[in-house]
């Protein structure tokens, strides 16, 4: 890793170095580690190819594929529709209490999808709070596609909002002024000047959301939507069918490839850095006028359903559960472990993302696409598949690391890495390559360029990536259950145990603690926004 980072600088400076450059070697190293789940799928499928073939060609599989793809696209689109207006309102308008909405718009990220889905069912499901409140016999069913779609959109839209808001703040107002000076209307400017500059950020965010929807198990299982992930879990749980599960996971990888292809088309061959001299001057906020209160209402509705109501329910349940029955010692230990694990994961992921992001930004091409694809698989596959893959390969290749903290961290990085890569890459893309070239030309060493130019100027992106990884890693369950050091308890584990033991409600206190300890990650994400 050390050497990789060192070498990364030269690549950044020299762009097309002779032979294998440092960025490349480091990127390939990261990609190979991230390829563990795919390697495992190959091994398992090749073990019983006939069985796998049969599963892949079942008519059911095609139906599953279309359903999962539909969910992924619907969630990606809905998250975008929520995120883009919200991002604009909180970054470019004179929205009242802008600072508050800025924070609230990111907070849904701290709510794990399994908790969000459970709260959604308790509130709106059969015999739920709303039904008893209204006193009606039955409500429209929230199970299935609709439920999964709504819940996943509500709790993932900040993944689109964050990059879009960052991009909006970096927009060069001179462009808009120029367009306006040429007599273009506001709507035309939005469409022809602003939107094209936002497309890459929207694409990257929507991709992360869609892939999340593909891999999610918590929400789809509680909302009973038969996505790929749910069926894969059932294959393991109900029939111990590892070949069938691997075959389905293989198809899921193909779906992921499709989504990646779409996104890379969107991102391809544009330049995002300013070429003119000077720094971006701050923009004047747009006056909302009579749209002021409708805008506030929009922000309030989103905040209410994506954060305030869920947290309110958790607080209510916590207050109801007998305070004495909580094992605080256990919760505190679990919280400390969760913070440790998520921090280490965030640090390693930020480091591993550097070469990959530089490669993707500076030398896009077939190779960087392969690296991007491999580093994305762990994020797009269900947690149980990634966990079992690392069990299988880890115990054979590095038995001395098996079920140790370093291995858990590596596994978590494999699951979360695209979050860091996306954020870092966006920052690198905004950095004019000329800057690095000039520094190289003036005789700085590759590492020197990276240390004095590269990292400082992309610091915001790197930190944002690390914070996103922190927030995602702290919620992760399957990898921790199977791979953590023995008797290493984390908050999601405690919540899961409490909720299987008795009621979900008894997991409300550890769930609230989980939200609290995730707060530093959110602070990193919004605290840096000015």
Partner 1 sequence: MPKTAVLALLLTALAAGTVAGCGSGSGAGSAGDGKSLTIYSGRDEEYVGPLIDRYKKENPGVDVEVRYGDSAELASTLREEGNRTPAGLFLSQDAGALGALQQAGLLAKLPSDILDRVPAKYRSSEGDWVGITGRVRVLAYDSRKLGKDQLPDSVFDLTQPQWKGKVGWAPTNASFQAFVTAMRLTAGEEKTKKWLEEMKANDTQAYEKNSIIRDAVADGEIEVGLINHYYVLEGIREGEIKQENYPVQLHFFPGGDVGTLVNVSGAAIPNASDQQDAAKSFTSFLLADPQQEYFAKQVGEYPLVPGVKQDPSLPPLSSIEQPDLDLADLEDLQGTQELLKETGVL
Site string for partner 1, 180-209 (x = CB under 8 A): ------------------------------
3 interacts with partner 1 by CB under 8 A: no
Pick left, alpha or beta for residue 19 (phi over 0 → left; psi -120 to 50 → alpha; otherwise beta): left
Q: Which of residues 4-23 bind partner 1 (CB under 8 A)?
A: 20
Query: With CB under 8 A as the contact rule, which of the stretches 97-105, 392-400, 418-426, 453-461 interacts with partner 1?
Result: 392-400
As measured in angstroms, the least distance from the Cβ of 18 to partner 1 is 12
Question: Tokens 């990364």 belong to which residue?
Answer: 8
- β-bridge partners, 320: none
Which residues have CB under 8 Å from 394's CB, separation 6+? 401, 402, 407, 411, 483
Radius of gyration from C-alpha coordinates of the chain: 23
As measured in angstroms, the least distance from the Cβ of 486 to partner 1 is 5
For residue 330, give both structure tokens: 């256990």
Query: Site for partner 1 (CB under 8 A): which residue of 5, 30, 36, 107?
Result: 36
As measured in angstroms, the least distance from the Cβ of 35 to partner 1 is 6
> CA nearest 260: which of 421, 382, 152?
421
Closer residue to partner 1 (CB): 46 or 258: 46
220 interacts with partner 1 by CB under 8 A: no
324 interacts with partner 1 by CB under 8 A: no
Other Cβ atoms within 10 Å of 315 Cβ, number: 13
For residue 250, give both structure tokens: 């293989």
As measured in angstroms, the least distance from the Cβ of 66 to partner 1 is 16
Other Cβ atoms within 10 Å of 176 Cβ, number: 17
**Between the CA atoms of 45, 48, 53 and 58, what dihedral angle is there, to the nearest 10 degrees?**
-100
CA gap 341, 470 in Å, rounded: 9
Number of residues that bind partner 1 (CB under 8 A): 51
Dump the DSSP string for 393-412: HHHHH-GGGTTSHHHHHHHH
Residues 164, 201: contact at Cβ < 8 Å?
A: yes
As measured in angstroms, the least distance from the Cβ of 25 to partner 1 is 9
Closer residue to partner 1 (CB): 333 or 497: 497
CA gap 461, 162 in Å, rounded: 11
As measured in angstroms, the least distance from the Cβ of 380 to partner 1 is 18
370 interacts with partner 1 by CB under 8 A: yes
381 interacts with partner 1 by CB under 8 A: no
As measured in angstroms, the least distance from the Cβ of 487 to partner 1 is 6
As measured in angstroms, the least distance from the Cβ of 34 to partner 1 is 11
CA dist 338 → 332, 432, 489, 516, 526 (Å): 10, 38, 8, 12, 21
CA gap 399, 466 in Å, rounded: 29
Query: Site for partner 1 (CB under 8 A): which residue of 58, 99, 127, 273?
Result: 127
Site string for partner 1, 395-414 (x = CB under 8 A): xxx-x--xx-----------
181-190 b/e with 16+ CB inside 10 Å = b? eeebeeeebe
As measured in angstroms, the least distance from the Cβ of 371 to partner 1 is 8
Closer residue to partner 1 (CB): 145 or 236: 236
Q: Which of residues 242-281 bind partner 1 (CB under 8 A)?
A: 242
CA angle 82, 153, 158 (to 5 degrees): 60
As measured in angstroms, the least distance from the Cβ of 226 to partner 1 is 8
Burial of residue 110, with CB atoms counted within 10 A of its CB: 0-12 exposed, 13-18 middle, 19 or more buried: buried
Closer residue to partner 1 (CB): 180 or 403: 403
Query: Site for partner 1 (CB under 8 A): which residue of 77, 266, 393, 457?
Result: 393
Query: Site for partner 1 (CB under 8 A): which residue of 176, 262, 392, 404?
Result: 392
69 interacts with partner 1 by CB under 8 A: no
As measured in angstroms, the least distance from the Cβ of 111 to partner 1 is 19
Question: Tokens 């960025």 belong to which residue?
Answer: 23
CA gap 421, 357 in Å, rounded: 5
Closer residue to partner 1 (CB): 157 or 233: 233
Query: Site for partner 1 (CB under 8 A): which residue of 164, 342, 391, 512?
Result: 391
Q: Which of residues 486-525 bind partner 1 (CB under 8 A)?
A: 486-487, 493, 497, 500-503
226 interacts with partner 1 by CB under 8 A: yes
Which residues have CB under 8 Å from 496's CB, separation 6+? 477, 481, 507
Question: Tokens 């858990």 belong to which residue?
Answer: 408
Q: How many CA atoms are closer than 13 Å to the CA of 273, on its beta-carbon side?
A: 17
Site string for partner 1, 449-488 (x = CB under 8 A): -----------------------------x--xx---xx-
Coil, strand or helix at 78? helix
57 interacts with partner 1 by CB under 8 A: no
Question: Tokens 């599963």 belong to which residue?
Answer: 55
Under the rule (CB under 8 A), what is the footprint of partner 1?
20, 24, 28, 31-32, 35-36, 39-40, 42-43, 121, 126-127, 224, 226, 234-242, 366-367, 370-371, 384, 388, 391-393, 395-397, 399, 402-403, 478, 481-482, 486-487, 493, 497, 500-503
């Amino acid at each position: 890793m050390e050497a990789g980072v060192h070498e990364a600088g030269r690549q950044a400076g020299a762009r097309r170095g002779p032979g294998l450059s440092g960025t490349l070697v480091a990127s390939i190293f990261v990609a190979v580690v991230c390829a563990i789940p795919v390697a495992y799928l190959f091994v398992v499928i090749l073990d019983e190819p006939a069985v796998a073939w049969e599963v892949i060609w079942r008519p059911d599989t095609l139906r599953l594929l279309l359903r999962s793809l539909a969910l992924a696209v619907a969630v990606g689109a809905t998250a975008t529709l929520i995120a883009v207006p919200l991002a604009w309102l909180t970054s470019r308008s004179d929205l009242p209490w802008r600072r508050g909405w800025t924070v609230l718009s990111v907070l849904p990220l701290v709510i794990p999808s399994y908790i969000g889905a459970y709260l959604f069912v308790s509130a709106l499901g059969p015999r739920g709070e709303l039904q008893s409140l209204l006193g009606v016999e039955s409500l429209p069913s929230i199970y299935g596609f609709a439920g999964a779609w709504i819940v996943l959109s509500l709790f993932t839209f900040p993944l689109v909002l964050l990059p879009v808001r960052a991009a909006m703040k970096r927009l060069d107002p001179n462009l808009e002024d120029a367009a306006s000076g040429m007599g273009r209307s506001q709507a035309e400017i939005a469409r022809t000047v602003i939107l094209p500059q936002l497309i890459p950020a929207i694409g990257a965010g929507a991709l992360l959301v869609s892939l999340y929807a593909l891999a999610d198990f918590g929400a789809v299982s509680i909302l009973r939507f038969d996505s790929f992930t749910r069926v894969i879990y059932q294959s393991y749980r109900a029939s111990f069918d590892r070949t069938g599960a691997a075959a389905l996971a293989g198809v899921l990888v193909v779906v992921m490839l499709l989504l990646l292809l779409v996104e890379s088309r969107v991102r391809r061959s544009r330049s995002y850095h300013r070429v003119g001299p000077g720094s971006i001057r701050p923009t004047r906020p747009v006056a909302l006028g009579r749209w002021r209160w409708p805008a506030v209402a929009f922000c309030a509705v989103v905040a209410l359903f994506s954060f305030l109501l869920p947290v309110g329910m958790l607080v209510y349940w916590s207050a109801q559960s007998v305070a004495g029955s909580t094992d605080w010692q256990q919760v505190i230990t679990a919280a400390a472990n969760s913070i440790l694990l998520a921090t280490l994961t965030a640090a390693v992921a930020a480091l591993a993302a550097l070469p990959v992001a530089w490669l993707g930004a500076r030398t896009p091409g077939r190779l960087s696409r392969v690296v991007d694809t491999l580093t994305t698989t762990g994020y797009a596959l269900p947690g149980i598949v990634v966990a079992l893959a690392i069990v299988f390969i880890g115990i054979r290749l590095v038995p001395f690391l098996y079920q140790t903290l370093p291995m858990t961290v590596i596994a978590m990085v494999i699951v979360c890495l695209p979050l860091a890569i996306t954020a870092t890459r966006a920052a690198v893309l905004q950095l004019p390559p000329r800057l690095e070239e000039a520094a190289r030309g003036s005789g700085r060493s590759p590492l020197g360029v990276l240390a004095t130019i590269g990292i400082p100027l992309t610091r915001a992106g790197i930190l944002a990536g690390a914070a996103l990884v922190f927030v995602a890693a702290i919620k992760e369950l399957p990898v921790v259950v199977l791979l953590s050091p023995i008797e290493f308890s984390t908050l999601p584990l405690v919540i899961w145990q409490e909720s299987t033991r008795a009621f979900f409600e008894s997991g409300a206190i550890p769930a609230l603690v989980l939200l609290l300890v995730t707060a530093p990650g959110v602070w990193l994400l919004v605290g840096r926004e000015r």
